[in-house]
Chain A
């Protein structure tokens, strides 16, 4: 390449255009994401770390945080088990109604959380379809933790199914068939052959499920009744604190919830890197 005038002019012009585009991209993200993040961090820690913790854990905050973590953990376990099962069935089995089942999987992402909560009220509420059944069983479901757990599970159903199905589609069928032919039972084959193959997809899906569950608001708001120290999650605590004009408590809980989710996001980056390395080594 010659270092002639026109080529150099082109390069200069390209560099100017590039700098402008990169600058506006960074500016956009900075304004839209970084500025609000900085604002809430400042709001939560303005009065010092001691006030941050006391407003986070006081007035039902500790209970709300623990309930949120418990619901997220339950959703992660239930969706981890059933998500793996559903993904396996959808990828490996051929049966009537498979297409219908497949289209049900993504439905929770297409529906507003408020509508999900409302739909659960219509089924489980006192005048709901299963109302008499619920009453006969003697357990309180709506406006208590079971309905909140069901709502949390509902909104986060697709994550594990999607991630595990993706890995299952790429996994080698030969290994499973070899183990099966050699006399291993279906269960042994799954534990010894399939599970190690889908391991990272499952972990990734469970992390996404947990992160989503920690932040669930609309569906839980509708089915919980939001009673402090009883059916109040972290996000509901934020909502009530804002209503009561206890801003610091709202900011502190928000930072705690966002911090937990961010820790999970970092863990996901780690898992992604592991998966990339693993699939790279396999090729």
Chain B
């Protein structure tokens, strides 16, 4: 009898102390000077521009990864070519590499000291310390998310349907749009939303390549870091509350979505 109440209590203490308490502390600090100060901290031009940049780059990365991730999942599911195992492993690589190292890799690759960077610079294209570098870093970090969401669904689909459509003379594009896409669309959307949520919080990969120029290449997480360093607790916690609320609701939506859409479909088959 004691065991039954003791273990949940222990679990609640661990999660409450480690996770809930710090998050509540951020929430309380954000409103410690009243709601007006909270709103003022978010309305400051530096905060607004940082948030806008983060949302814009995150959305772009989610769209690009939705397309590229679907293509990669299709290749992994349908082709049995040489090097498929290598491709499979390479796609998971970004999860294993520290995000700071990701940023450093891009600096080496496209920085002004590198061959590729010098070549681009000579043609008037600057990548490092612009929003383009932020997008590339985010694309690397989030590469596996859509692939891993779509691949299991694609592997479930009956190959017969696809083959039948192809045998009947349908163009691959037609087969894809009419047969494959309807089945995988929920998984693609789920992966895209998770990609966006992940991109909202990325710090290590971005902080090195972005240059962190206020109003131009300074993202919301970097804005939080700057505010913490300069002792602006309300500014740091106000932006934190917005980011936490946004990515938490995105994760809740995808969770509901998965249960409502994916479960009945796969069970019905």
User: Which of A's residues lie within 8 Å of B, judged by CB?
Assistant: 6, 10, 13-14, 17-18, 21-22, 24-26, 28-29, 32-37, 39-40, 43, 82, 85-86, 88-90, 93, 95, 97-98, 101, 104-123, 128-129, 150, 153-154, 157, 186, 211, 214-218, 221-222, 234-235, 238-239, 242, 250-251, 254, 257-258, 261-262, 264-265, 269
**Which residues on B sit within 8 Å (CB–CB) of A113?**
201, 203-204
**Residue picked from A34, A85, A114, A215, most chain B C-beta under 10 Å:** A114
Instruction: Tell me the nearest residue of chain B to A218, going by C-beta.
Output: B203
> Interface on chain A toward B: helix, strand, loop, or mixed SS?
helix
Write out the residue numbers on chain B whose beta carbons fall within 8 Å of the beta carbon of A123: 21-22, 25
Give, as a whole number of angstroms, the nearest-CB distance from B189 to chain A.
18
Choose one: B75, B225, B233; the contact of A21 (CB below 8 Å): B75
Given the known inter-chain contacts A21-B74, A122-B22, please indicate yes or no for A111 contacting B101, CB distance below 8 A. no
Contact assessment for A222 and B251 in the assembled complex, using a CB-CB cutoff below 8 Å: no
- The residues of B that contact A86 with a CB separation of less than 8 Å are 11, 14-15
Expressed in whole angstroms, the Cα–Cα distance for A238 and B11 within the complex equals 36
Q: Specify which of A89, A104, A154, A214 is in contact with B7 (CB 8 Å cutoff).
A: A89
Contacts of A107 in B (CB 8 A): 19, 23, 248
Residues of B contacting A33 with CB < 8 Å?
90-91, 93-94, 140, 143
Determine whether the beta carbon of B26 is less than 8 Å from that of A118.
yes
B100–A238 touching, CB < 8 Å: yes
Chain A residues closer than 8 Å to B266, beta-carbon distance: none
Residues of the A chain whose Cβ atoms lie less than 8 Å from the Cβ of B20: 104
Which residues of chain A have C-beta atoms less than 8 A from B39's C-beta? none
Query: Does the CB pair A25–B72 fall under 8 Å?
Result: yes
* CB neighbours of A186 from chain B (8 A): 3
> Which residues of chain B come closer than 8 Å to A108, judged between CB atoms?
19
Closest A residue, CB atoms, query B88: A269
Q: Say yes or no: is B244 at the interface (Cβ < 8 Å to chain A).
A: yes
Task: Contact check, A238 vs B240: say whether CB atoms are below 8 A apart.
Answer: no
B104 at the interface (CB under 8 A from A): yes
Q: Are B25 and A119 in contact (CB under 8 A)?
A: yes
Could you tell me the distance between the alpha carbons of A238 and B205 in the complex, rounded to whole angstroms?
12
CB distance from A179 to the nearest CB of B (A): 15
B228 near A222: Cβ-Cβ < 8 Å? yes
Q: Contact: A36 with B92, CB < 8 Å? A: no
The range of chain B's interface size is 35 or more
Contact A242 B201 (CB under 8 A): no
Least CB distance from A224 to B in Å reads 13
Q: Which of B79-87, B118-126, B150-158, B210-218 contacts A (4 or more CB under 8 A)?
A: B79-87
Q: Are A265 and B22 in contact, CB atoms less than 8 angstroms apart? A: no
Contacts of A37 in B (CB 8 A): 93, 105
The answer to whether B7 and A85 touch across the interface, beta carbons within 8 angstroms, is: yes
Question: Is B197 within 8 A of A110, CB to CB?
Answer: yes
Instruction: Select from chain A the residue with minimum beta-carbon distance to B245.
Output: A110
> How far apart are the CA atoms of A206 and B228 in the complex, in Å?
32
Contacts of B43 in A (CB 8 A): none
- Interface contact A254-B104, CB-CB below 8 Å: yes
Q: A33-B94, A121-B228 are in contact. Are A235 and B100 (CB under 8 A)?
A: yes
Q: What are the residues of chain A within 8 A of B87 when measuring CB–CB?
A: 25-26, 29
A-chain residues with CB within 8 Å of residue B8 when the two chains form the complex: 89, 93, 95, 97-98, 101
Q: In the bound complex, what is the Cα–Cα distance between A39 and B109 (angstroms)?
A: 6
- A95-B10 Cα distance, complex, nearest whole Å: 13
Q: Which of B12, B29, B166, B202 contacts A10 (CB 8 A)?
A: B166
Q: A39 to B72, Cβ gap below 8 A?
A: no
Tell me if B25 and A43 are in contact (CB < 8 A).
Answer: no
Smallest CB–CB gap between A65 and chain B, Å? 13
A115-B221, A123-B22, A222-B228 are contacts. A110–B97 as well, Cβ < 8 Å?
A: no
* 9 nearest CB pairs, A to B: A215-B98, A112-B201, A119-B22, A36-B105, A122-B25, A218-B203, A217-B204, A25-B75, A261-B96
CA–CA, A89 and B4, complex, Å: 9
